[in-house]
């Protein structure tokens, strides 16, 4: 086989396998842009989010798992809602107690966590 043919075959195989492969993981820039654009649909939650969680959870440099970054949230979601609520209420590593939300109810925290994790959290 000539090198050209080999190249062409390689390109076809690569294209075929790309069709079957799952969507490639998003780049850090894509994840940051996605987090920056996300806001809860509920107006009250959107307000709470904009004035608290978003300051860190839409800023990669904060070290917080970004809103909508499902891969970053997956191991946290596995801890379960009770554990995550405990982290927010008491503070956790770089996150201050209450997540800087002074008017969030327990229900608000749960809704905000589900919104950011973008996956079921039980």
Number of residues that bind ligand HEC (CB under 6 A): 27
Kindly indicate which of the ranges 1-9, 23-31, 35-43, 56-64 contains the residues binding ligand HEC, using the contact rule CB under 6 A.
Answer: 56-64
What's the start-to-end Cα distance of the chain, in Å? 56
Distance CA 73, CA 69 (A): 6
Q: Does 119 bind ligand HEC (CB under 6 A)?
A: no
Q: Does 92 bind ligand HEC (CB under 6 A)?
A: yes
From candidates 36, 101, 114, 118, binder to ligand HEC by CB under 6 A: 101
Distance CA 91, CA 95 (A): 5
Query: Tokens at residue 57, please?
Result: 């959870």
For residues 41-72, b (16+ Cβ closer than 10 Å) or e, as one string? eeeebeebbeebbbebbbebeeebbbbbbeee
* Torsion region of 80: left, alpha or beta (phi above 0 gives left; psi -120 to 50 gives alpha): left
Kindly indicate which of the ranges 3-11, 18-26, 37-45, 98-106 contains the residues binding ligand HEC, using the contact rule CB under 6 A.
Answer: 98-106
Q: Does 55 bind ligand HEC (CB under 6 A)?
A: yes
Kindly indicate which of the ranges 6-14, 17-25, 26-34, 88-96 contains the residues binding ligand HEC, using the contact rule CB under 6 A.
Answer: 88-96
Binding residues (CB under 6 A) for ligand HEC: these are 52-53, 55-57, 62-65, 76, 79, 83-84, 87-88, 92-96, 99-101, 104, 109, 112-113
């Amino acid at each position: 086989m000539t090198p050209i043919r080999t190249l062409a075959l390689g390109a076809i195989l690569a294209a075929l396998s790309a069709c079957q492969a799952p969507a490639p993981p998003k780049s850090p820039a894509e994840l940051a842009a996605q987090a920056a654009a996300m806001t809860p649909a509920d107006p009250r939650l959107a307000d709470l989010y904009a004035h608290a969680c978003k300051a860190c959870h839409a800023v990669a440099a904060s070290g917080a798992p970004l809103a909508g970054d499902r891969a970053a949230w997956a191991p946290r979601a596995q801890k379960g809602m009770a554990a995550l609520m405990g982290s927010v209420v008491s503070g956790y590593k770089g996150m201050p107690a209450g997540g800087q939300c002074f008017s969030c109810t327990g229900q608000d925290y749960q809704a905000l966590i589900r919104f950011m994790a973008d996956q079921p959290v039980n």
